[in-house]
Amino acid sequence: MTSVRRRLTVVVPAFGLLTFAVLLVAPTLGSTPISLRRVFDSSIAWDDNVDAQIFFVARLPRVLAGALVGSTLAAAGVVMQALLRNPLATPFTLGVSAAAALGAMAAIALHLDATFLGAAAIPAACFGGAMVGTTIVYFLATRVSGGLSTNVLLLAGVTLNTFFSALITFVQYLVDPADWYRTARWLLGNLDVSSYTPILASVPLIGIALLLFALLPRTLNLLTLGDDVASGRGVDVATAQRIAFLSASLATGAAISLAGPIGFIGIVVPHLVRLLVGSDHRIVLPAATLFGAAFLVSCDLIARTIMSPIELPVGIVTAMIGGPFFLWLLVRKA
Amino acid sequence: MLRADNVSFTYGQGPGIRPATLSGISLEIRRGQVVGILGPNGSGKTTLLRMLCGMRRPDHGSVTLEGTSLDRLSRRALARRIAVVPQETQLAFEYTVLEMVLMGRHPHLGLFQLEGPNDFDVARDALAATGTAQLEHRRFSTLSGGEKQRVVIAAALAQAADIMLLDEPTASLDLGYQLEVAALVTSLNQERSVTIVISTHDLNLAASTCHELVMLRQGRVIAAGPTTEVLTPANVRELYDVDADVHVHEPSGHLVVVPVTRVTRPR
């Protein structure tokens, strides 16, 4: 059996290369063919250089957003599955996503982007919703049991998820048809950011979450064996669970604020990675973080091109792949 | 070396099954001993083990390791001294046997430190000591019950602690595996000088492996001392409401307990 160090020196460069290749190729492909020579030809004025505009305004931000969101949701999925000791958990299991979505729905319904804060209104409300949801779930889970009970966490999270989803439906019912269309589009998840500002805004939040994730891998291995085993091996279980829950929630909130609730990344990617590299989180976590980027950018490439010139929201593509995959996992397990 | 002084504990309000409470428990685990904790279901055996490894803090009284209160030791420091083998180990994800045993090295590794050659040596040595070396590359979930239990004990052994607490290590095993685990406990104690505390329902396991016994009923110690002195028909009756014959089994030289009838305790 090779050591973790040796496996890391194979796995990380392999997934790194794959992701790098996808990120390099994806912006050059799309419904309109572009010439890379023209894109980087500085002798052509920006206003006349349609190729450069497509590359730098339409495609590159989209690819970068896809990479960031894909990495974040995949890593958050790995952490959530270990924390809840449940391979079927996703970053959205504990209600953070529904709370985030409710925040976005409220911002759309109240036209906050027209009256207040401008384009940042919806992401800001969304992230605020995620943090409120996280606080409620955390409060419930610590209140009932002194420590942080993963059972209560799961029950409270799933219940709040349903409750917030009901509120989302309620908001959608109240708004006028034009706003309803915006809410529905938002809920599908979309990487069409067409500017670098929201990406840059989410980088610090995602950065903090990923740094916290980096503290966790060996501890996550032990948490999956159960609280008693982890504690007996020297893990401060309550602290580890708090860091895992709060960092995964932060990551999820930031990712949803950027691209809406893009489903299934957080479960498909971790499982594909585990099939390839085993269950040691010291390898799974970096591999899933890299592969998440490649996976979501690839899905978005399909979304942009498969029904060209129509662009699908990427959430539809990930759901088409993720739904059957999820069922396959379930059946395989049984 | 490990002492409980007048330890009491009550589980707080909360949902779920309320395990037993403990009241006024004092005991001392001496270095090099194998100590058995006996008692009926709900008598507080598991709770007592949790106190002894510092997973739970007593409401009153204290647990000390060589004079230092467990409260003053970090989880990590404690894990380097005391290893725990829980009743059951259920995996949410697949790990190989070697991966499982290497996880025992957790309290010896820094935050970002990976296992080095020394850790692999310790893990392989633990596999050899538990007779599971040939299972190294197998997935844990494909092992039999007895193999799993031995691998879990190997992981605890890799922790290199001088005290090992085992919570009903034979509870879900058939007779053959029960004997294997009993022999393993004895060899760890004799050949590796591990001080061992076992909670068990199996009186004959206790009789054959334990130097000393602590008998718990309803969270109190009703008898404690050397096995040959404490394992008496009177104490078994007091403990389980069962009339039993206890006699020396000549070939093995240790006591055997033959349960005869259930008695009704006058209320």
CB of A225 less than 8 A from some CB of B: yes
More confident residue, A207 or A111: A207
User: Does pLDDT of A148 surpass 80?
Assistant: no
Residues of chain B in contact with residue A11, where contact means CB-CB under 8 angstroms, are none
Q: What is the pTM of this model?
A: 0.91
Is the C-alpha dihedral spanning B177, B182, B187, B189 positive or negative? positive
Tell me the pLDDT of chain B (267 aa) as tens digits: 899 999 998 876 555 555 568 888 999 999 999 999 999 988 889 899 999 999 888 989 999 999 999 999 999 999 999 999 988 888 889 999 999 999 999 999 999 999 999 999 999 999 999 999 999 999 999 998 889 999 999 999 999 999 999 999 888 788 888 888 899 999 999 999 999 999 998 899 999 999 999 999 988 999 999 999 999 999 999 999 999 888 888 888 888 888 888 888 765
Gap from B178 CA to chain A (nearest CA, Å)? 21
| ipTM for the complex shown | 0.88
CA–CA distance, B213 with B230 (Å, rounded to integer): 7
Instruction: Please name the member of B96, B103, B156 whose beta carbon is closest to the beta carbon of A222.
Output: B103
Hey, what long-range contacts does B73-78 have (CB within 8 A, 24 or more apart)? B74/A234, B74/A236, B75/A231, B75/A234, B75/A235, B75/A236, B75/B107, B76/A234, B76/A236, B76/B107, B77/A234, B77/B107, B78/A234, B78/B53, B78/B54
A273: left (phi over 0), alpha (psi -120 to 50) or beta: alpha
CB of A279 less than 8 A from some CB of B: yes
Interchain CB distance below 8 Å, A232 and B115: no
pLDDT of residue A309: 83
With residue B195 as reference, give the H or E element that holds it. strand B195-200
CA–CA distance, A198 with A123 (Å, rounded to integer): 8
CB of A236 less than 8 A from some CB of B: yes
A-contacting residues of B 36-65, CB under 8 Å? 53, 55
Token pair recorded at residue B244: 């039993």
Eight-state DSSP code of residue B70: G
Give the number of other CB atoms < 10 A from CB of residue B17: 6
Residues of chain B in contact with residue A224, where contact means CB-CB under 8 angstroms, are 91-93
> Cβ neighbours of residue A311 under 8 Å, at least 6 residues apart?
A31, A192, A303, A304
Tell me how far the alpha carbon of residue A216 is from its chain's centroid: 18
User: Does pLDDT of A146 surpass 70?
Assistant: no
**Segment A170-206, tens digit of pLDDT:** 999 999 999 999 899 899 888 888 789 889 999 999 9
Which residue type is seen at A244? A
CA–CA distance, A315 with A300 (Å, rounded to integer): 9
pLDDT of residue A1: 46
Give the number of other CB atoms < 10 A from CB of residue A48: 8
